[in-house]
Amino acid sequence: MKESNSENILVIGICADVHTQGVHQYHQAGDKYVRALTSLSQHVVPVIIPALFHELSEQAQDTLLATLDGVMLTGSYSNLHPGYYQSALPDDDDAARDPHRDASNWKLIEKILAADLPLLGICRGFQELNVYFGGTLHHRIHEVPGLMDHREDKSLPLEQQYACAHSISLTEKGVLSQWFAPRQEIKVNSIHMQGIDRLGKHLKVEATAPDGLVEAFSCPDYTFLVAVQWHPEWQPHNYPDNASVIQGFIQACTTYKNRSSQ
């Protein structure tokens, strides 16, 4: 259901990746992330933040964030360079890398936290936040004894790749448990090769997979910081649980805007 209050316009930033097309580089964000916001609220204006935030002046960074009511850190085909968590590249590294996004989001996260802007991390964004708070990542979950293979089958149609793959258990009295109450479990898609090894400091586990892998966390030190390993941006109009995550984020942005305007 779309909101009816046309006066409550929200400006939400979405981080970009840098992709090479032909001989040129482009700053891009996936259509599904943009439309996840606009499909659930006619009062959201998505703004793509170029992956050069760290190159802007301090004044420019602050001015940009002052225009926003929240930020989404998206998933990506690339993975955060392991040097950010003091680890070497794995043997036969087959992950795509995006040093522009790595550097840009590292500074962007710092500034978002300082401003206490509502922040939603998805997949790579989830992993970036964990590392920012001092956590580490498994390079290849499917090679870790006791953990499931959380990758999608790329030979299947996209609809099947993003279909629900497994259940997750919600932490009692967490942010997600409030969104999905009275259920203690929900089903999610699973489209990732990496995952949390050591949880970052001050982060609170919000959900775990059947193998114990952390699937969501929050940080009580901030007004709203939630990150999920799955992809709730995928067709929220067809998956109500995906919609609940995006709507929870939009509501946090609304609350922030209302508080800031007082």
Cβ atoms of 193 and 170 within 8 Å: the answer is no
Taking the C-alpha atoms of residue 192 and residue 229, their distance in angstroms, rounded to an integer, is 8
Q: What token pair was written down for 178?
A: 């409030």
Nearest one of 139, 132, 186 to 121, comparing CA atoms: 132
DSSP conformation class of 146 = T
Q: Is the CA virtual torsion 15, 151, 94, 197 positive or negative? A: positive
Q: How many helices (H) and strands (E) are present in the chain, helices listed first? A: 7, 13
Task: Indicate the length of the chain as a whole number.
Answer: 262
Q: Which two tokens stand for residue 207?
A: 């959900």
Pairing of the two strands 70-73 and 119-122: parallel
End-to-end CA distance of the chain: 27
Enter the tokens of residue 199: 């949880």
**Distances, alpha carbon 139 to alpha carbons 81, 106, 175, in Å:** 10, 19, 28
Active site residues: 123, 231, 233
Q: In what order do the strands lie in the sheet with 225-228?
A: 44-49, 10-15, 70-73, 119-122, 225-228, 214-218, 204-208, 166-170, 185-188
